[in-house]
Amino acid sequence: MPFIYLPAPEDRIISANALFLAVQLITVPGDAAEEVIGRVVSSGMKAILNFAPIKVKVPDFVSLVNIDFSVELERLSCLAIRRD
């Protein structure tokens, strides 16, 4: 069952089924990404957008897109310079 992870002393987990979530965004530090994505996958989430600065392998039934923020920022900067 998909969930939203809310950092809290008791590590609360909220069911995504109750919230009708279809895609999970991961925005955690690299050292936490593998564990968080593993929990998301084991909960049943089938689509993940990963902003963590690490590439994580997932089962074939999960769609995972890795976004490297630094690369995208560099690309955007180059586009902005070309337009000047």
Residue 16's SS3 state is coil
| pTM score of the predicted model | 0.66
pLDDT score, position 65: 93
Query: What ranges in the chain are assigned the alpha helix state H?
Result: 30-42, 69-83
Domain, as residue range, for 30:
3-83
Average pLDDT along the chain, 84 residues, taken 10 residues at a time: 49 51 82 89 86 90 90 90 81
CATH number, position 43: 3.40.50.720
Query: What is the tally of structural domains in the chain?
Result: 1
Residue 80's SS3 state is helix
pLDDT score, position 1: 42
pLDDT score, position 20: 57
CB atoms near residue 43 (< 10 Å): 16
Q: Distance between CA 62 and CA 31 in Å, rounded?
A: 21
pLDDT score, position 41: 87
